[in-house]
Amino acid sequence: MTAQATLLSQLENKQRELLSRIQAIETDFKNGRAADFAEQATETENDQVLDEIHHQAKEELILVNAAIAQINHGHYGQCSQCAAPIEAARLTALPYVQTCIHCAQ
């Protein structure tokens, strides 16, 4: 398996994980809340945390989807700002990163 095929596999796994996380959070939001006021207060606090996790997962999914599209179109590993190649170590650490280390700073 080539390095790019391995990265594509990792990205697809991450995509499935994020979609599952997003769906689980959305299902939790759709569930009713407790009748007890004290429990409602706790659930409200939990909802705020879940909302932030939901938001971050959706943002990460956008990046993962973009990286998969770049692989499919032969543009993977190219900085979206300066068009320079993104360092292999950076792509290994964050396979969905869109910028080289210089543009990220």
Distance separating alpha carbons of residues 78 and 90, to the nearest angstrom: 12
Q: Which of 68, 57, 98, 60 is nearest to 7 (CA)?
A: 68
Model's pTM, two decimal places? Answer: 0.80
Secondary structure of residue 1 in the 3-state scheme: coil
73-84, pLDDT tens digit by residue?
988 999 999 999
pLDDT band at 3 (very low <50, low <70, confident <90, very high): confident
Report pLDDT for 101.
Answer: 93
**Residue 1 pLDDT > 80:** no
Measured at the CA of 23, the angle between CA 11 and CA 12, to 5 degrees, comes to 10
Integer CA distances (angstroms), 32 to 10, 29, 40, 100, in order: 35, 8, 10, 45
pLDDT at position 43: 63
